[in-house]
Amino acid sequence: MIRNRMTFNSCLKRQKGFTAVGWAVVISIGLFFAYLGMILMPYIVGGYTMDRILQGLKEEPNIAKKSKSEIWRLIENRLTINQVRDVKREDFEIKKEPNMTTVYFDYDDRAHFMGNIYIVIERSKSVELYRDY
């Protein structure tokens, strides 16, 4: 009778690879992260676009000498060119000081995940534009 009984070590030697349940778990985890990536990718690209728009203001000649409305017009043109539609004028704040101008950007995005679950993406950035003499 002892010979017919399988020991723990002999079971481990016979097992090779994943079971169907193991593969189902691995595939479902992979699909979950792929779904999450598909949802978040447009928002991630939008964040990089906003960074490029704000950093592009630094390259504008004599930007710190321009008025708030002129700076906003430059931002608005860049938003249109890059097809950013969700960002409004209220999301920006432009502060003028004697030697520099600071542009603040503060925006919250909501990505629908599933059901009544949303992912909130907070974007907050500022750029300092110094006066050229």
**Which of 99, 109, 105, 59 shows the shortest CA–CA distance to 79?**
105
What was the pLDDT predicted at 102? Answer: 93
* pTM of this structure: 0.70
pLDDT tens for residues 54-70? Answer: 999 988 888 888 899 99
Give the start-to-end residue ranges of the domains of the chain: 42-130
- Cα separation of 27 and 44, whole Å? 25
The answer to whether 124 and 106 have CB atoms below 8 angstroms apart is yes
